[in-house]
Amino acid sequence: MKKLLCLISLMCLILLSCKKTDVLPGLDTSPVEYGVDDKYELIALKSDKQGIDSTTVFQLTSKEEINNNFIKNNMQIVPEQEYKIEKLSGTTYNIIPAVNLENDKIYQIVLNDEGYEYSWAFQTKKKFVVESTLPTDRSGYVPSNSGIEIYFSLSGLEELDDFFEIKPHVDGKFIYKNNTAIFVPDKLEENINYTVTIKKGYGLKDSEQKLEEDYSFSFNTKKEKYAEIYFDRPLTNIYENNAKIIEAYINNENLEFDINIYQYSNADYFAENINDFAETGKFFTGSVDDIEGLSLLNTIKQKPNISYKNIYNTPKGLFEIPGLPKGYYLLEFSTNSGEKNYHFLQINDMLIYYALFENQIVVIASNASDSKGIVDAGVVLNGEHLGFTDNDGILIADRDTSKYENKTISLRVEAKGFSDFVYADSFYFFNYYYRSQYEAYKYIRYIDTDRPVYMPTDKINVWGFARHRDDKSVNKVRIELVEANTGLVLDEKTVDLTNIGTYQTEFEIKNITSDILQINVYDNDLKISTEFVSIGEYTKPLYTVKGELDKKFVYKGESVNYKVKASFFDGYPVPNLELKFGTFSSNYSGSLEYGGMDATVKTDEKGETVISINTNLTSDSWRPVSI
């Protein structure tokens, strides 16, 4: 029993020695105890859930008294940053960075105290900006049922209504999701150029950050059906003594067109109208009768004279507009369906060539009757008078032409004794095919698959990269797997891109009967990349076959040899290997006659054979053709 009491007493003594004693009257008190980690506290005085402000002041609080020298000798901001110290009390100090911190960056503040290092990390807010949009700036063929998505750098968006403008005006409503504002329009009209502006001053609900300047982008909605007639370009220039022929593509070569011929009263009205088209892609708003300075001159009926069919079997027709003198015209082509299409016509006695180089603008003015240069022709480009042509009809103006990049061009040349030559150029002056190509070339893009040939039941891995050449990011792409021969869409996926613009996806195929599949990549509805893969049963080959031409460019009828070499994977030749060999031709436009080749060849003891290629063909096009 005594042993038990002693053990209990000992345990009480140990427990009491570990317990912090209460302060008793007349006894000295020990310093207040606290954990090492609790000795200092550092906070940013200007911060919210998005991060700290770039102009913030940091406040350091200590459990013990410290001084300016202690902070100066022991505190460091990483990356290195000068700072001022403001004393509030013996234990509280403001740390004031000498210059504003950088946006979207992590800063570390380190304090050393008797060998113990205290460290705090803070991230500054991103700058509040518009990062990207859907549709993208200057995009074309946007479906009229599309929404308009604006991606900001930060979330927690204010209501956008008072800071959003779309021209022409469209009613609609907004939907918000994280850092994205989506405008859902009641209705977008077809084939209209829309400009959207997010006005400066727009910001976040719980932050002082605002847009510092307006952000604008534009897009053009697509037509939902093919036109009955369409032109390579919206303007034709014809010398007054030449036949007045207008070229156009025709969807139905048996159609007869009513052609209303309108004439402008002077060059100013014509220039105003054609410049409006260059800006918007629209010949007019409302009715043709509303165009100032325009009157109906004549009406004719005409079927086109079909000149040829292009590689897509689309007929190209010729219309002759008789009896027109020098002047400026608008042609209206209409059919019984009620569809109307328009075309500018300028009949002039000047020939003009102009080009924009990196640091120079070159304009050449010639008399259309004798091709001699026109002296002292005044040249005005986008409202700026560049100067006058010399004795050879040439003007070379030193200018930084980067300011004209992706801008509408308005050109006017005036000379004594000649009618003014009026011209404009823009995205809308490309025809339907080149316009889509022009848009795609605004991207840096790449696409690849893990191999070129797949089994009928297999998995196709797709990798790619997409980014605007002006360094704007692409947020997501739509990827289609298409049967190449029929155009049937087998599968479709929407894929998010990484911050650097890469994407990855895969398609599972089962019992595919097609020989070729096509992979199309779209930003919105603009196709930016295409890749083809082959489908077929195969086994791993025992050898490789490689071929090389001794010439790549020849005139028709010239000799071209194709050297073939077959080798096992260890490098030894494959002799007496029977190979089937064939050729076919392709061209961009016009007719092409070529007999082709279909032969069987055999390799020699070195695994090699040389084939003479048939280059005898007939083409009515000036362009090179391919075999």
Give the pLDDT confidence score for residue 253 in this predicted structure. 83
CATH number belonging to domain 350-425: 2.60.40.10
Question: Structurally, what CATH architecture does the domain formed by 36-123 represent?
Answer: Sandwich (2.60)
Check pLDDT > 70 for residue 28: no
In terms of Cα–Cα distance, which of 403, 402, 410, 406 is closest to 427? Answer: 406
Question: In the structure, what pLDDT confidence band is assigned to residue 443 with cuts at 50, 70 and 90?
Answer: confident
Q: Does the structure show a pLDDT above 80 at 513?
A: no
Between the alpha carbon of residue 90 and those of residues 32, 41, 61, 65, the distances in Å are: 17, 14, 9, 5
| Cβ neighbours around 346 below 10 Å, total | 22
pLDDT band at 620 (very low <50, low <70, confident <90, very high): confident
Q: Is residue 171 predicted with pLDDT exceeding 70?
A: yes
pLDDT beyond 50 at 12? no
Can you give the length of the chain in residues?
Answer: 627
| Domain 434-535 listed as CATH 2.30.110.10 | no
Q: Residue type at 356?
A: L
- Mean pLDDT across the chain: 85
pLDDT 10s digits, 114-160? 878 899 999 988 888 998 888 878 777 787 888 898 999 888 899 99
Q: Is the pLDDT of residue 552 over 90?
A: no
- pLDDT cut 70: percent of the chain above it: 89
The CA distance from 178 to 170, in Å, is 24
Query: Whose structure tokens read 């990356």?
Result: 79
Confidence of residue 224 (pLDDT cuts 50, 70, 90): low
Q: Is 540's pLDDT higher than 60? A: yes
pLDDT-derived band at 441 (thresholds 50, 70, 90) equals low
pLDDT digits (tens, 9 = 90+) for 33-71: 445 567 899 999 988 777 888 889 999 999 999 999 999
Report, at the CATH architecture level, how domain 229-348 is classified: Sandwich (2.60)
**pLDDT tens for residues 197-216?**
999 999 988 777 899 999 99
How is residue 57 written in tokens? 């002041």
**Type of residue found at 345:** L
pLDDT at 4: 34
Cα Rg of the chain (Å, integer): 37
Give residue 348's pLDDT: 93
- Higher-confidence residue of 353 and 484: namely 353
Contact between 207 and 201 (Cβ < 8 Å): no
Q: What is the pLDDT of residue 438?
A: 52
pLDDT, residue 311, reads: 52
Please indicate whether the domains covering 130-221 and 229-348 agree at the CATH topology level.
yes
Average pLDDT over residues 544-554: 90
Q: How far is CA 14 from CA 18, 64, 573, 599, in A?
A: 7, 31, 91, 103
Per-residue model confidence (pLDDT) at position 538: 77
Specify the higher pLDDT residue, 313 or 259. 259
Q: Give the C-alpha separation, 58 to 225, whole Å.
A: 62
Are 388 and 348 spatial neighbours (Cβ–Cβ below 8 Å)?
A: no
Q: Is the confidence at residue 268, as pLDDT, over 90?
A: yes
d(Cα 289, Cα 262) in Å, to the nearest integer? 10
Topology (CATH) of 130-221? Immunoglobulin-like (2.60.40)
Domain ranges of the chain: 36-123, 130-221, 229-348, 350-425, 434-535, 543-619
Q: What is the pLDDT of residues 134-147, one digit of tens each?
A: 887 877 778 788 88
Bond preceding residue 168 cis, omega within 30 of 0: yes
Neighbours of 548 (CB within 10 A): 9
Q: DSSP assignment of 216-255, as one string?
A: EEEEEEPPSS--SEE-SSSEEEEETTS--EEEEEES-TT-
Q: How confident is the model at residue 430 (pLDDT cuts 50, 70, 90)?
A: low
Q: What is the pLDDT of residue 226?
A: 63
Residue 172's pLDDT band (boundaries 50, 70, 90)?
A: very high
- What is 253-275 written as a DSSP string? TT--EEEEEEEESSHHHHHHHHH
Q: What is the spatial distance between Cα 495 and Cα 492, in angstroms, rounded to a whole number?
A: 10
